[in-house]
């Protein structure tokens, strides 16, 4: 990333507000040499991620991630510094604390179209999860992504992410398998319109390989849920994801082939993950998300699209837990959402992601192995009545994944 470019992007109207003297620093520079001379496993995992472009070691003040902090200061390489104003704070069932804030960088870009709602603030946002003395965070500035990742000896890595290097959510072959697994009639009612929020409970499962790759699994999962629900709330999908019980750990034989993993997960009598059915029932989980070994080719894969309850499973690459919205992307497939380049019009003709080619962006269900490989993801589902940079992020007839969530979300939320 070129920092002059980032400064240009962030200075939307050259109205970046002055820093407040009261805002504490979330992190500050630290000595890099010892960590890079003898890197621990966590730092090696960060360095092995192909999307991580640049790494610096920083010292984090975890006490700043609290309900008492109305603002935090974030200082990025290249002399960029911003105040982040808190918009939400929550304590998860795990006890971890989630602090969400917005970087105020001037007015929304592009023309404001009548009856359309701008979502530009999603490109200037921080979501931070505190677990004890560590903080895991996604920092978005002008659509660019930085990550704060705990590593060894109480230190943290500040990572500059090249979003163009994220792995695809599914390879073309994997997606074809998902489409083929989606045959049969899907029961759904008419679009119910505004209603109460549907809470979809997700059983989170880890195998030994992914647990070793991540470190603090619950902290990573809390950030994934926070990021997912932020995207679901952006366009009023009327759906939220909730972790069902504690993380479940399994020691059965694993594979980095996600099709193989899904076949084992959905077959509850093959000797691999047979206990998952009873565990799913005991915690009333509508979906199951399994974190598998790192895949060299994809970020995740679901067992199908608009699946019945028995196949409501998806598999995740531990390198893609958050940052690219893969977690909620795969959940979206189970609900019934499709990629932007999928011509299928059943069961929802409008159920596709959307690419905004004029600004090189794409919504959560649009993919980088489609017609716009250079388009980076925007944290919202396609919907015709919302915009980013003045450009609508969907169409009424073909690209309205928000409507898919509103239509079938209640069905999935009633799986258990």
- Alpha-carbon span 77 to 321, nearest angstrom: 24
Q: Which strands sit side by side in the sheet containing 355-356, from one edge to the other?
A: 355-356, 361-362, 376-377
- The HSE-up count of residue 368 (CA atoms within 13 Å, CB side) is 20
Positions annotated as catalytic residues are: 330
* Residues whose CB is less than 8 angstroms from the CB of residue 381 and which lie 6 or more positions away in sequence, other chains included: 231, 232, 234, 235, 237, 332, 337, 353, 363, 364, 365, 394, 401, 402, 405
Q: How far is CA 373 from CA 83, 304, 367, 377, 391, in A?
A: 33, 23, 8, 11, 19
Q: Which helix (H) or strand (E) holds 34?
A: helix 33-37
* DSSP assignment of 254-282: --S-HHHHHHHHH-TTSSSSTTHHHHHHH
Among the listed residues 336, 346, 92, 339, the one whose alpha carbon sits nearest the alpha carbon of residue 219? 92
Identify the sign of the CA torsion 24, 380, 180, 173. Answer: negative
In the chain, the largest separation of any two C-alpha atoms, in whole Å, equals 61
- Two structure tokens written together for 397: 């007839």
- Two structure tokens written together for 367: 């993919």
- Alpha-carbon span 356 to 364, nearest angstrom: 12
DSSP H helices, 283-325, are none
Using an 8 Å Cβ cutoff, are 311 and 181 in contact?
A: yes
Q: Which helix (H) or strand (E) holds 4?
A: helix 3-10
Angle (nearest 5°) at CA 91 between 209 and 409: 75
Among the listed residues 121, 97, 99, the one whose alpha carbon sits nearest the alpha carbon of residue 108? 121
């Amino acid at each position: 990333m070129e920092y002059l470019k980032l400064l240009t992007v962030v200075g939307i109207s050259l109205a970046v507000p002055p820093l407040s003297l009261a805002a504490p620093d979330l992190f500050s520079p630290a000595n890099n040499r010892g960590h890079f001379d003898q890197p621990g496993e966590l730092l090696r995992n960060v360095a092995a991620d192909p999307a991580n472009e640049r790494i610096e070691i920083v010292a984090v003040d975890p006490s700043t991630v609290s309900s008492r902090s109305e603002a935090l200061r974030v200082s990025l390489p290249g002399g960029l510094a911003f105040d982040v104003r808190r918009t939400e704070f929550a304590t998860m069932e795990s006890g971890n604390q989630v602090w969400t804030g917005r970087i105020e960088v001037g007015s929304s870009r592009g023309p404001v179209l009548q009856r359309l709602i701008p979502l530009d603030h999603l490109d200037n946002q921080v979501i931070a999860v505190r677990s004890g003395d560590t903080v895991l965070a996604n920092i978005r500035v002008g659509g660019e992504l930085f990550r704060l990742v705990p590593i060894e000896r109480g230190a943290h890595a500040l990572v500059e992410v090249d979003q163009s290097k994220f792995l695809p959510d599914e390879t073309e072959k994997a997606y074809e398998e998902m489409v083929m697994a989606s045959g049969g009639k899907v029961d759904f009612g008419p679009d119910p319109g505004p209603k109460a929020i549907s809470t979809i409970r997700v059983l989170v499962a880890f195998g030994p390989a992914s647990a070793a790759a991540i470190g603090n699994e619950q902290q990573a999962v809390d950030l994934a849920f926070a990021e997912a629900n932020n995207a679901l709330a952006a366009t009023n999908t009327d759906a939220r994801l909730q972790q069902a019980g504690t993380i479940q750990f399994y020691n059965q034989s694993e594979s980095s082939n996600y099709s193989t993993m899904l076949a084992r997960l959905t077959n509850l009598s093959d000797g691999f993950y047979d206990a998952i059915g009873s565990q799913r029932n005991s915690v009333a989980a509508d979906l199951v998300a399994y974190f598998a070994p790192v895949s060299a080719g994809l970020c995740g894969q679901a067992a199908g699209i608009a699946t019945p309850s028995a196949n409501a499973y998806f598999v995740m690459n531990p390198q893609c837990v958050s940052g690219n919205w893969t977690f909620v992307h795969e959940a979206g497939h189970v609900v019934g959402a499709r990629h932007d380049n999928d011509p299928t019009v059943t069961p929802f003709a409008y159920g596709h992601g959307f690419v905004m080619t004029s600004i090189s962006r794409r919504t959560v269900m649009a993919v980088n192995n489609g017609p716009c490989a250079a388009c980076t993801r925007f944290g919202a589902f396609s919907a015709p009545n919302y915009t980013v940079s003045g450009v609508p992020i969907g169409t009424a007839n073909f690209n309205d994944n928000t409507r898919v969530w509103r239509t079938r979300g209640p069905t999935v939320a009633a799986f258990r």
